[in-house]
Amino acid sequence: MVTEQSETTPLLINQPKQTRNGWLYLAVLSAVLGNFNFGFSLVYPSPVIPKLQSSDNPRLHMDTHQISWFGSIFTLGAAAGGLSAMLMNDRTGRKLSIMLSAVPSTVGYLLMGAAQNIWMLLLGRFLTGFAGGITASSIPVYVSEISHPGVRGALGSCPQITAVFGSLALYALGLVLDWRWLAVAGEVPVLLMLILLCFMPNSPRYLISQGKRDEACRALKWLRGPDSDYMTELNQIERSVNSQVGLQWSDLRSPFYYKPIMISVFMRFLQQMTGITPILVYLEPIFHKTNISLDPKYDAAIVGAVRLLSVMIAASLMDRAGRKTLLFTSGFLMYLAMLSMTMYTLKASCDVSNVTVEASGQLLEGHGAVMGPLTNSITLIPLISTMVIIFGYAMGWGPITWLLMSEILPLGARGIASGLCVVVSWVTAFILTQLFMHAADAYGMFAPFLFFCVICVVNIIFTAKCVPETKGRTLEEIENYFRTGRSFTILDS
């Protein structure tokens, strides 16, 4: 009998639990198609503005004032979408909120594709921005809540990666498609996202908060696999959810709420203050103003490819190097690149304003920048600097701000606080995008880049003083860290 037990019992007791990630990856892919669309629509003006500036149609021709609105009104729509998501995330759920964003996105692209007047372009930009605000608020939370700690860092960077893919797709398609067909192409990822999400589960955390434990159990079993230890994870989630109550104004005095909310809000504010949105939106106009030697539309595509490469590197390092290490690296790289861009544009603006140089039949003049065939190599500085800015941003301050927001916000405040973060982020982006071209025309291109350079220093200090390291921690451990202020532990009671 003893021999019989020793041969059979270990096979039953010590059988390892196996977590399968295949269905989890499919669910994440389905959701982050919304971010692909977000990245596509965000940089839509970059190849379109030069074409509309030279348009023969007086109803579509744009001056500097109209260009500023065309570039910036997207961010106003994103802020409005973030406000809507504050209510939708907790009432309709993360998945349904993402799906509902397909409606304004589809209408917005149709308006831009069929535009006969500038107001149709502006309204289309606002609606696609509204959809982007919803997805920017809902997708990181959804991805975080369906992921487990072993892959949450990599999957948490997927919203940023797919947004970069979307931007690169726009730059690439802009080389071969007319601006109207670019709007038509934007409809494809929206419809694909809507179809795939119909078959994906909702967030187990959201389901438990709504009293749907059985449905949450089925969702977690589907995401982790039937052979995984999903019941233990379900019980941990349930304890965490049951330990929280609805958010009241008086709760904001507790460090458990105000610390993660303030960290998240300031990170999204500082993320935009680096100037990433106006740089991406006005990428081709910036290259035109700096008289870069290559064709600006090809420069934009190169920068988009570099951005994609860097965000993929960041995803592979997210759960190895840690969040804070990447934030430090990101801030320092952006600081160096912004400084070099400032020095280049400042030197150009200090040169004799109206000097012309004729060489090989080419005459180049403008804003203090004197470029000829003999000096073409120095004109690559804006391209290289912009590539380093995008590389640095995509390494840290791009994906990690999204990831940390979804990790550190307490469940009871996650829907409202994530919406607040999006609103702060896009109001800031609107102000910067609206002022960028005016400041560049009035003072020279060096002025906005000098400001962004100072902000990068502030970001490094903020990371050192305020940002916690969440690498390898469960959401329950992170919540208890802010609850106790001492350590990352599981709340057992």
Taking only the tens place, the pLDDT of each residue in 363-399 is 334 443 434 443 456 667 888 888 888 888 878 888 7
pLDDT band for 125, please (50, 70, 90 cuts).
Answer: very high
**CA 37 to CA 139: how far, in whole Å?**
12
List, as one string, the DSSP characters of 35-66: HHHHHHHHTTHHHHHHHHHT-S-TTT---HHH
> What's residue 357's pLDDT?
41
User: Of the given ranges (195-199, 252-256, 417-421), which has the lowest mean pLDDT?
Assistant: 252-256
Residue with tokens 């990181």: 140
**CA 470 to CA 407: how far, in whole Å?**
8
**CA 293 to CA 380: how far, in whole Å?**
7
Q: Is 471 helix (H, G, I), strand (E, B) or coil?
A: coil
> What's residue 110's pLDDT?
94
**CA 40 to CA 38: how far, in whole Å?**
5
pLDDT band for 411, please (50, 70, 90 cuts).
Answer: low
- In this structure, are residues 184 and 172 in contact, taking their beta carbons and an 8 Å threshold? no
**CA 80 to CA 123: how far, in whole Å?**
13
- In this structure, are residues 146 and 98 in contact, taking their beta carbons and an 8 Å threshold? no
**CA 458 to CA 489: how far, in whole Å?**
31
Residue 8 pLDDT more than 60?
Answer: no
| Count of Cβ atoms closer than 10 Å to residue 170 Cβ | 26
pLDDT in tens, 414-443: 667 776 787 788 889 889 988 888 888 888
pLDDT in tens, 134-162: 888 788 888 888 888 777 777 877 887 78
**CA 453 to CA 274: how far, in whole Å?**
8
> What's residue 454's pLDDT?
93
Dihedral (CA of 45, 50, 56, 59) sign: positive
Look at 242 and 318; give whichever has higher pLDDT: 242
Average pLDDT, the chain: 79
Pick the CATH number of 20-200+254-484 from 1.10.287.40, 1.20.1250.20, 1.10.3720.10, 3.40.50.2000: 1.20.1250.20
- In this structure, are residues 289 and 445 in contact, taking their beta carbons and an 8 Å threshold? yes
Dihedral (CA of 392, 397, 403, 407) sign: positive
Residue with tokens 């959701």: 31
> What's residue 72's pLDDT?
84
**CA 72 to CA 46: how far, in whole Å?**
12
**What region does 115 belong to: left with phi over 0, alpha with psi -120 to 50, or beta?**
beta
Please name which of 170, 75, 166 lies closest in space to residue 129, comparing C-alpha atoms.
75
Look at 71 and 376; give whichever has higher pLDDT: 71
